[in-house]
């Protein structure tokens, strides 16, 4: 099984998202969450995971659905909307090595075929 579309919305100075019902994390907290999620996926027997999403959404489309009603969705990216990398993903190579280590650091809960 490949686990898809998981991630953590981050704080980015968006008062509407920060006052909503969904919790927002710092970029470092989101990075730690992602590492723990990969470790748990491996322990459960998943072959990997796909992080949601590549980039935060640009402010110019925040009034469009679904971003208008789910403001936390604006801030799930590994890159910020201004094309700078988040703290967690500042070095893609180091981030992938860190995620792979987290993924393989746990034993499988059951054998995989």
Instruction: Provide the pLDDT for residue 69.
Output: 96
Instruction: Provide the pLDDT for residue 82.
Output: 95
CB contact at 8 A, 108 and 45: yes
Please measure the distance between the N-terminal and C-terminal CA atoms of the chain and give it in whole angstroms.
11
Which tens digit of pLDDT belongs to each residue from 33-66? 998 998 888 888 888 889 888 899 999 999 999 9
Instruction: Provide the pLDDT for residue 43.
Output: 86
Helix axes 27-43, 92-104, angle to 10 degrees: 40
Helix (H, G, I), strand (E, B) or coil at 2: strand
Which tens digit of pLDDT belongs to each residue from 91-103? 889 988 888 888 8
Helix (H, G, I), strand (E, B) or coil at 103: helix
The closest alpha carbon to 52, from 21, 25, 27, 75, belongs to 75
Give 108's pLDDT tier (boundaries 50, 70, 90). Answer: low
pTM of the predicted structure, to 2 decimals: 0.84
Q: What CA–CA distance (Å, rounded) separates 40 from 103?
A: 8
Which tens digit of pLDDT belongs to each residue from 17-33? 999 999 999 999 999 99
């Amino acid at each position: 099984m490949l686990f898809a579309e998981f991630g953590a919305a981050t704080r980015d100075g968006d008062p509407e998202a920060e006052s909503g019902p969904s919790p927002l994390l710092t970029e470092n907290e989101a990075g730690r969450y992602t590492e723990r999620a990969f470790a748990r996926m491996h322990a459960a027997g998943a072959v990997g995971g796909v992080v949601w999403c590549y980039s935060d959404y640009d402010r110019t489309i925040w009034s469009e659905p679904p971003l208008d009603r789910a403001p936390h969705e604006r801030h799930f990216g590994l890159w910020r909307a201004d094309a700078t990398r988040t703290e967690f993903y500042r070095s893609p190579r180091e981030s992938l090595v860190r995620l792979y280590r987290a993924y393989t650091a746990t034993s499988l809960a059951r054998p995989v075929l």
